[in-house]
């Protein structure tokens, strides 16, 4: 039989044990709490570790303030940021920040601060971010002003531009006015592909696309030391302006109308003689052009009105009747257009310039250097609208960047006959004639050729 006294003793000892256990646990916990580590978790990822929970809170606040004074505008973070105890048996896996600044260092690039602002969207792509709509408008205006020199011009962009207000732009992506203008006025890379066609060479593709041959090799590792095959796809990268400024305006110009030269043959005259019967006087005309410029270079010029103020008076000359001598003395050879030579024949910027560039106003008449047969009259990528005339004795001439071609292939043209008009087609930045003289298929300096014919061409 169990005495009641014995049972009481048993219960007391159980209570006593339980209390001791609780007390021991509490003392262990209190001892350990000095060593508990706290971690900052940003979007589920450990971002910083410290022993002091209060310092972490202060560090987050200070980091926020630091960012705001760095950027100069209000920022915020929309990320999920939590402070939690770090439960680990291997605390050495973490670098424990000892001071508030060390915590800031650990957090610095792990917390994204965002702000409200405006995205400048070009052709559907967010390209530049600024603080507000005024800065966005000002930066676009600066790009327009860069290319617009006329008060009366209508200015627009070739690209579609949208300004979109956003409230979660990463603070470090916001540009001030100057750097926004720099970015908008710069270049964007555009990747293009080209499929090799029958007869293509790298040289052709390079000159056609206006890219260096080395650049193509750099982009397409697989074609090094190998032959190209038809249908092969190669990569081409071209730099394009991010924004292109289109300017439209009306331009009034008073221009000379060149006089014509009438040459009469006179068998009575000595073959070297040349008599001036009537001196030519240029006429005057007033032309209104509708001009379109892209980034400051004329790309289109259309006559909308023309008024002749004074008709030209033709020049009448009488020469000795010997065609061969006339040719040799240069009378049957014509400089193709009046104007200044802006670029000579020969090497420039490491590339061969195969002719001379003669600047002239848009639409000015271009004449055949000599009589001959039109062999080419079509648009080519680099040359633009091009005419090639084949003359006698292995001689040929090319006239490039024309705005119009007036002679068809196969036509026999006479020396000095109008064959086209000055333009900016092909790879040209302003209206000019690219003029080439070829002897047996090889380009020669046109000025030297004229000299050899006894003509010193002076601009
Ligand atoms: Zn040229």
* Domain CATH code at residue 286: 2.20.230.10
The answer to whether the CB of 77 falls within 8 A of the CB of 111 is: yes
Read off the pLDDT of residues 32-71 as tens digits, 9 standing for 90 and up.
555 678 889 999 888 888 888 888 899 999 999 999 998 8
Task: Considering only residues 378 and 190, tell me which one the structure prediction assigns the higher pLDDT.
Answer: 378
CA atoms within 13 A on the CB side of 65: 6
DSSP symbol at 305: E
Query: 421 in a domain, yes or no?
Result: yes
Q: Do 253 and 377 share a structural domain?
A: no
Q: Sign of the C-alpha dihedral, residues 80, 85, 89, 93?
A: positive
Q: Do 420 and 333 share a structural domain?
A: yes
Query: 30 in a domain, yes or no?
Result: no
Is 70 exceeded by the pLDDT of residue 427? Answer: yes
Query: 388 in a domain, yes or no?
Result: yes
Q: Do 341 and 219 share a structural domain?
A: no
Q: How many domains does the chain have?
A: 5
Q: How far apart are CA 421 and CA 46, in angstroms?
A: 71
Q: How far apart are CA 453 and CA 328, in angstroms?
A: 6
Query: 264 in a domain, yes or no?
Result: yes
**Which has the minimum average pLDDT: 126-130, 145-149, 383-387?**
145-149
**Mean pLDDT calculated for residue range 269-281:** 74
92 band by pLDDT with thresholds 50, 70 and 90: low
Query: 396 in a domain, yes or no?
Result: yes
Query: 28 in a domain, yes or no?
Result: no
Task: Considering only residues 399 and 214, tell me which one the structure prediction assigns the higher pLDDT.
Answer: 399
Q: Do 385 and 349 share a structural domain?
A: yes
Q: How far apart are CA 365 and CA 259, in angstroms?
A: 12
Ligand 1 centroid – CA 398 distance (Å): 11
**Which has the minimum average pLDDT: 126-130, 178-182, 268-272, 276-280?**
268-272
Ligand 1 centroid – CA 98 distance (Å): 70
Q: At what angle do helices 177-184 and 133-147 cross, to 10 degrees?
A: 50
Q: What is the pLDDT of residue 330?
A: 47
Q: Do 107 and 155 share a structural domain?
A: no
Q: What is the pLDDT of residue 457?
A: 67
165 band by pLDDT with thresholds 50, 70 and 90: very high
Q: Do 459 and 330 share a structural domain?
A: yes
Read off the pLDDT of residues 308-349 as tens digits, 9 standing for 90 and up.
999 999 888 887 554 333 344 445 788 999 888 999 998 877
The answer to whether the CB of 400 falls within 8 A of the CB of 384 is: yes
Q: Do 335 and 457 share a structural domain?
A: yes
Domain range enclosing 405: 326-459
What is the percentage of the chain residues whose pLDDT exceeds 90?
40
Q: What is the pLDDT of residue 9?
A: 59
Q: Do 333 and 282 share a structural domain?
A: no
Q: What is the pLDDT of residue 268?
A: 64
Ligand 1 centroid – CA 362 distance (Å): 16
List beta partners, residue 279: none
Q: Strands, E, within 344-383: which ranges?
A: 346-348, 351-353, 356-359, 365-367, 372-380
The answer to whether the CB of 386 falls within 8 A of the CB of 423 is: no
From the number of C-beta atoms within 10 Å of its C-beta (0-12, 13-18, 19+), residue 4 rates as exposed
Q: At what angle do helices 53-71 and 100-107 cross, to 10 degrees?
A: 60
- Summary mean pLDDT of the chain: 84
26 band by pLDDT with thresholds 50, 70 and 90: low
Ligand 1 centroid – CA 196 distance (Å): 27
Q: What is the pLDDT of residue 2?
A: 45
Q: Do 260 and 233 share a structural domain?
A: no
Q: How far apart are CA 295 and CA 156, in angstroms?
A: 11
Query: 404 in a domain, yes or no?
Result: yes
Q: What is the pLDDT of residue 374?
A: 95
Q: Do 279 and 233 share a structural domain?
A: no
Ligand 1 centroid – CA 343 distance (Å): 7
Task: Considering only residues 110 and 327, tell me which one the structure prediction assigns the higher pLDDT.
Answer: 110
Ligand 1 centroid – CA 396 distance (Å): 16
Ligand 1 centroid – CA 383 distance (Å): 8
Q: How much is the pTM?
A: 0.50
363 band by pLDDT with thresholds 50, 70 and 90: very high
């Amino acid at each position: 039989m169990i005495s009641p006294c014995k049972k009481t003793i048993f219960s007391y000892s159980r209570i006593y044990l339980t209390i001791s256990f609780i007390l021991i646990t509490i003392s262990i916990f209190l001892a350990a709490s000095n060593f508990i580590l706290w971690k900052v978790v940003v979007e589920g990822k450990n971002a910083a570790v410290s022993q002091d929970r209060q310092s972490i809170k202060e560090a987050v606040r200070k980091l926020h303030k630091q960012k705001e004074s760095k950027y100069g505008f209000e920022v915020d973070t929309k990320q999920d940021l939590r402070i939690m105890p770090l439960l680990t048996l291997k605390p050495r896996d973490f670098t424990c920040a000892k001071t508030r600044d060390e915590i800031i260092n650990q957090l610095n690039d792990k917390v994204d601060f965002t702000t409200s602002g405006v995205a400048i969207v070009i052709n559907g792509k967010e390209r530049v971010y600024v603080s507000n709509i005024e800065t966005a408008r000002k930066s676009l205006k600066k790009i327009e002003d860069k290319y617009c020199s006329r008060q009366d011009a209508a200015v627009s962009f070739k690209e579609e531009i949208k300004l979109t207000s956003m409230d979660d732009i990463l603070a470090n992506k916001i540009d001030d006015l100057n750097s926004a203008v720099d970015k908008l006025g710069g270049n964007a890379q555009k990747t293009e592909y080209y499929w090799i066609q029958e007869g293509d060479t790298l040289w052709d593709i390079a000159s056609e696309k206006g890219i260096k041959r080395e650049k193509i090799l750099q982009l397409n590792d697989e074609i090094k030391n190998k032959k190209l095959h038809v249908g092969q796809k190669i990569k081409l990268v071209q730099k394009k302006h991010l924004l292109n400024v289109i300017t439209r305006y009306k331009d009034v110009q008073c221009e000379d109308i060149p006089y014509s030269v009438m040459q009469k043959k006179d068998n009575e005259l000595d073959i070297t003689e040349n008599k001036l019967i009537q001196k030519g006087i240029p006429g005057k005309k007033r032309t209104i052009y509708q001009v379109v410029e892209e980034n400051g270079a004329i790309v289109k010029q259309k006559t909308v009105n023309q008024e002749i103020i004074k008709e030209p008076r033709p020049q009448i000359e009488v020469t000795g009747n010997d065609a061969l001598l006339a040719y040799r003395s240069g009378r049957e050879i014509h400089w193709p257009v009046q104007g200044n030579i802006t670029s000579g024949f020969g090497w420039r910027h490491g590339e061969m310039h195969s002719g001379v560039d003669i600047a002239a106003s848009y639409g000015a008449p271009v004449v055949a250097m000599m009589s001959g047969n039109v062999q080419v009259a079509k648009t080519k990528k680099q040359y633009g609208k091009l005419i090639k005339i084949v003359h006698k004795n292995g001689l040929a001439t090319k006239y490039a960047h024309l705005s119009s071609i007036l002679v068809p292939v196969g036509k026999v043209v006479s020396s000095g006959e109008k064959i086209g008009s000055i333009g900016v087609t092909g790879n040209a930045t302003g209206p000019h004639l690219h003029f080439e003289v070829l002897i047996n298929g090889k380009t020669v300096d046109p000025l030297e050729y004229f000299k050899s014919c006894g003509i010193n061409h002076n601009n």
